[in-house]
Structure 1
């Protein structure tokens, strides 16, 4: 279906400005490459990693045609309407700390969205960037999903394990262009700035700061302050939740914490559970 977007300024990303701002001696970013279109930035960057692409490579696209989200969900985005990118990390921290990487990206993204756009974003465990119902631009009874994050690891080379972290942020989509009713865009939430280059620069700048401290702490989220930063942005905590677990198990209870291993702690009728995976639904009082 065609949509009238004549009133929507959708300038291209500016790789020259991004590289000038982000790539510097001693920094972690090797370079930002922008493709006109690609199926999945994660898939493409994993292939580049296997061909020798270095730590700190960033791949963005103006139009992702076969994006992959959590639980195998697929999605596409209109040309220049979303910020879709992936980063390549050559890992030096213990493998059992890698669950924090997508959450680290979430913290960087929420901070960047708040600063650049003015939208009051938050996190839903484990790594969805949302606009909570109480922060929506118009009266709403449900949270809106603004961005999703997907981390994928490749241990085929034991001497150089690789993780690619990808994210797609809905920026200038109209309501009709969003894939599902639960999705929102920065434009729809009254953003003061829809500059995707500025947003990407802010996300990558924040990610570098967090990653540098976290990796220096050997992946210890508590010692590096990452765990506390995440908890401070995660609105799942303290909420009633309904969690769809692998194997079609359903758990209901109250989310009381996120532990040092990035697991969601849920207190339910059968006691305390620590969850490393699951699809969380926030339950509003009385529902």
Structure 2
């Protein structure tokens, strides 16, 4: 009798029944519509980075505004400062979108990753029943066992002169023994009411479409469209004493008191100075 070789676990899209694959056709039917933002939704089994892939597609003219690329697994996912972002296959949502905010002043494009954070947090509150807060500028935080944990992140990259690719990585069903670091979390560990990735992805993309539409209608003005106020309301960094680790090996410690009109975090230092921070790593030190 010929012995058949059992397929490797990674070869089967149903290898983990607790983590079924996304239904690309159903996602396209739900999200791609005439007059809507989303023009194409592609799901791939595995890739290095959805952001890198979508930036390349845009450069080659193979992706227009509203293109969405989702990976069941990312092998070289990147966060800010080129940090690695890895997770088991189908344990999270890893996707990138291409936006072309024509007519919006480029100085206001810096609000796009913050806008995405607001959209994702709003969607997860409704669709997963999980209270998600935002760590400036682009970390998604959940509460696990009374502790703040990072469950996701957002990375925005320019693509040519007229486009921005925004990537979102979110841990959905990651178990405690699968966490890359002890300070990480997931929707499941935070007690999510639902962890079915299809409705979660639909909810996030619909929320992003709504917020992006508001922002564009207001010519990118974050105050006029309610974005600045909503971001501040959901930002866990505000009111905290933080350390901003800045380019050039400089750091500033102060209370995070505001997010200004340019999306910068404003720190009130011990010297009575208000210093806006536009880039850098923020460490939450303690409650204010």
| TM > 0.5 | yes
Structure 1 residues 22, 45: CA separation in 2 closer, same or farther (over 3 Å shift)? same
- Mapped partners of 2:132, 2:287: distance in 1: 21
Structure 1 residues 218, 285: CA separation in 2 closer, same or farther (over 3 Å shift)? closer
Q: 1:98 aligns with which of 109, 114, 131?
A: 109
Q: 1:79 aligns with which of 66, 72, 89?
A: 89
Residue 35, structure 1, aligned to residue 48, structure 2: no
Which residue matches 1:210?
211
Residue 225, structure 1, aligned to residue 226, structure 2: yes
What does 1:18-167 align with in structure 2 at a 5 Å threshold? 18-52=27-61, 53-92=63-102, 93-131=104-142, 136-140=143-147, 143-155=148-160, 158=161, 161-167=162-168
Question: Cα offset for 1:215?
Answer: 1.0
Alpha-carbon displacement from aligned partner over 1:158-196 (angstroms, at most 9, x marks no partner): 4xx110000100011111211111110111111111111
Question: Cα offset for 1:120?
Answer: 1.1
Count of matched residue positions in the alignment of Structure 1 and Structure 2? 272
- Mapped partners of 1:285, 1:46: distance in 2: 39
- Mapped partners of 1:8, 1:181: distance in 2: 26
- Mapped partners of 1:164, 1:50: distance in 2: 11
Question: Cα offset for 1:278?
Answer: 1.6
Task: Check the 8 A contact 1:41/1:67 in 2, yes or no.
Answer: yes
Which residue matches 1:188?
189
Task: Check the 8 A contact 1:8/1:172 in 2, yes or no.
Answer: no
Which residue matches 2:6?
none
- Mapped partners of 1:265, 1:138: distance in 2: 30
Structure 1 residues 211, 241: CA separation in 2 closer, same or farther (over 3 Å shift)? same
* 4+ runs deviating over 3 angstroms: none
- Report the 3-state secondary structure (helix = DSSP H, G, I; strand = E; otherwise coil) of the residue aligned with 2:223: helix
- Report the 3-state secondary structure (helix = DSSP H, G, I; strand = E; otherwise coil) of the residue aligned with 1:33: strand
Which residue matches 1:282?
284
- Mapped partners of 1:126, 1:242: distance in 2: 13
Gaps spanning 5+ residues in structure 2: where? 1-8, 10-14
Alpha-carbon displacement from aligned partner over 1:216-260 (angstroms, at most 9, x marks no partner): 221111111111111111111111111111111121110000001
